[in-house]
Chains A and B, each alone.
Chain A
Amino acid sequence: MYDIASIYQATSVADAIRALQADPGAILIAGGTDVLIKIREGKLAGCALVSIHELGEELGGITLADNGDVEIGPLSTFRDVTYSPVIRQYIPVLGEATDMAGGPQLRAAGTIGGNVCNGITSADSASTLMALDAVLVVRGPAGERKVPIARWYKGVGKVDLAHDELLVKLVIPRENYAGFTGHYIKYAQRSAMDIATLGVSCLVKLSGDKQTAEAVKLAFGVAGPVPMRAPAAEAAVSGLPIEAAIENIGPAALQDVNPRTSWRASREFRLQLVEELSGRALREAARKGGAGV
């Protein structure tokens, strides 16, 4: 039994914003796979909920815009993302990442918007969205604003979203995915139903002859308090022959990350994973792009 004071079913995005404005303590709930756990743990016990669960028409759907940008409705579940023809055709790495969250039940309920808005460093979609430089469209009483994902995360569990604002769209600009292939490695203690000890997402754009890594993007989850890019590693290996890039990206990434020791895993262990898995992710990404590595 969950200790919930009230739940309001919003009828539209505007209605949800009004409801949030009316109750400064209200909690927004979509798929519920994070919020319900917090209620059960007592952290949000007795809370008032504003549900956007039924706003699929406004907040669902994954489409290719006229300009080639991929637009993802935040209410899309992990499963929706994974099985979206648009994602499969244009950004398969994102669908592969969302397919690694939890188990089948969670992926059918949890949403990509929730995954981004809860601000957790281990979120399975987050490192790939970081590597893709996703743009988050946020709507509040004053209208819409766009936030590059690089400026989204403010701290553990904190994102650039006011109480009365809603994430209404995730945009992957065409230039950020076109020509790139990617690979996401979720390193966890077991093969399903787990949270990442380290998440590594790597995108690579190969030269025409598939010999050179012209551009490399590398992002991590759980390598720091929030999902992060690895600019030093990217700079160090972009333009290198692909084998050299694979060899160098891991050691270079150690300059970018700052994992902590917790009871889940030590800093040293996570650093070893960063070093080892960065190269593995780049190798797989390059293979998908046709490199013979």
Chain B
Amino acid sequence: MNADKSYIHWRVETDAEGIWWLHIDQADSNTNVLNVAVLEELEDILNRCAAQKPLGVVFLSDKENGFIAGADIKEFTQIQDQDMAVEHIRRGQLIMDKIEALPCPSVALIHGFCMGGGLELALACRYRIAEDGPKTRLGLPEVQLGIHPGFGGSLRLPRLIGAPAAMDLMLTGKSVNARKAKKLGIVDYTVPSRHFLSSARKVIVDKPRGSRPGRLQRWSNSAPVRPLLASMMRKQVSKKARPEHYPAPYALIELWRRHMGKPERMLAEEARSVAQLVIGETSRNLVRVFFLREQLKAHGKLPEQLRDKHIEHVHVIGAGVMGGDIAAWCALRGLQVTLQDRSEDVIAKALARANKLFQRKLRGDRLGIIAARDRLRPDVEGLGVARADMVIEAIIEDIEAKQALYREIEPRMKADALLTTNTSSIPLQTLGEALDKPGRLVGLHFFNPVAKMPLIEIVTADATEQESAQRVAAFAKQIGKLPLPVKSAPGFLVNRILMPYMMEAVRLREEGVPSVEIDQAALDFGMPMGPLHLADTVGLDICLSVAEILGRELDMEIPGALRDMVGQGKLGVKSGQGFYSYDKGKKSDPGKASPDSANAEIIDRLMGRLLNEAMACLREQVVENRDLLDAGIVFGTGFAPFRGGPLNYAEHEGFDTWLEKLRRLEHQHGAFFHPDPYWQQFATPAAIEPAQTN
């Protein structure tokens, strides 16, 4: 037999029993994705399978990190039009159909990541077996890219496990571990790695019944039930995403509701629907955000020569909200952590919060929780300083206190240990003056709440050694966060850009626009939270203090209303009263925004300030380029991801248009809106012209 015909991305092995083992091992990559080349080879293999009728076929991956991570997202960006997209998708569907139609049992043997197209391939197999390990994840995350499954997943998953569970997975894009997958019926068996290969062999020989949908699950896909379930799903989705911002989940519900009964029609419509979404603005921008994320991750890659200097033990000084939560997060992510504070009481409270985090993130994993707790060690005496690879300082924002601490600990630190600070307002240069080796000092600016915010600003000063910055960026990636390199400038990137936007919201409020209208406009725009609600949540006193520091540096006037409110003890959520009133942290109903509120004008003013500050940051090179700026604002503030970042949004609207708007706003509302000179880099000469004549 010529079963051993060689392929580039696949390795076909036939054994004595007549089972074909199809190893996917994509060339020049450490992750398998289903790109055109991989699919072409697979089609050839399947054609030969159909002809030669093996005893069984097993799909498995030779990559350490998993089975198949999904479609090749790079290929998305090359898709020109809908017809091209349909053609590509139909081809993939056809290959999945061939797997389904194989004349012998087929098994997907899954370890690690099995996402998107990878899971769709597995769903086309007769059996799925997943390794029962912490790294196994299965899911259909396509909605996160503004599309939905396209290789038959939207048909096969509901058919296999019923609509409620299947649609929940596809609409949220969340992934599940092996045990959950077994419970839902996505996989037939979970096995420990020691039985991985033998389980596939046994299943092919024995042909067991496997996991099948129950009566209720089948019923959930029936024609009379679908309209009812669909409207419930729409309602559920609308709480999280609006159709005008995120069309994909709505398209998926509609596809399922209309066509689930007829598989062939369903596949054709699935292809058409995905093709339409993939060329749409939302998907393009979400794909952009995906690559921005990859770009940030790439900053966290440790160069070969620094591999032996990765961080294993961090020592956190200051167990307040930030320090304590940073320590807890590091312990959760597998680092050895010593947590220092003068007060046992503060440490005890931090440990209690840490314990809640472990309980939440490691639910049901009793031993994992114990191990995480053991990794986080209270250390009043600060003994950990001498052993740590990195010290994270998170004490009060006071130059002298920080410098005194640095002088005390530096002699005790290991020679190549890094010192990082979570300061948000003190220039790194100033702090570095207290050190013998200022090159080891790096800013490590986490956002609150630590467990939820994916971004960390990696702040460097002129004195910072490049190696230190690289090691700290790698540390950020190690703990599952996205490192954004920024220059040590007031407010760094995120707070600096966010602050004028929030201050403008306060000014609007001062002018008499109701809070709820301001926030509603921002929500309509796609922000995760209105600026005034955000200010209340952060704490108005903290907003004021950050604004004051930034205001001094950047010559920004602070609205009197903010000072007045802080003066009156209205501090937001924590005091029960801010721009809204709160009862035990819950916002009381502020009523609805009036339908004729001046939404567009509000957005122009909020975004005008934000974009203008963004330009200033680019001009001052706070970040290296506009992609990083967009990345920072999306991951640091939750800025409407479907808009692909503020500058991407500005470009979409037209830089010229925005320049024009700013001039108008400057005229109406003052110098805040005076266009930053850097707009000239983006606007066309024609739009710049009037500025020069003024």
Is A bound to B? Answer: no
B contact residues vs A (CB 8 Å cutoff): none
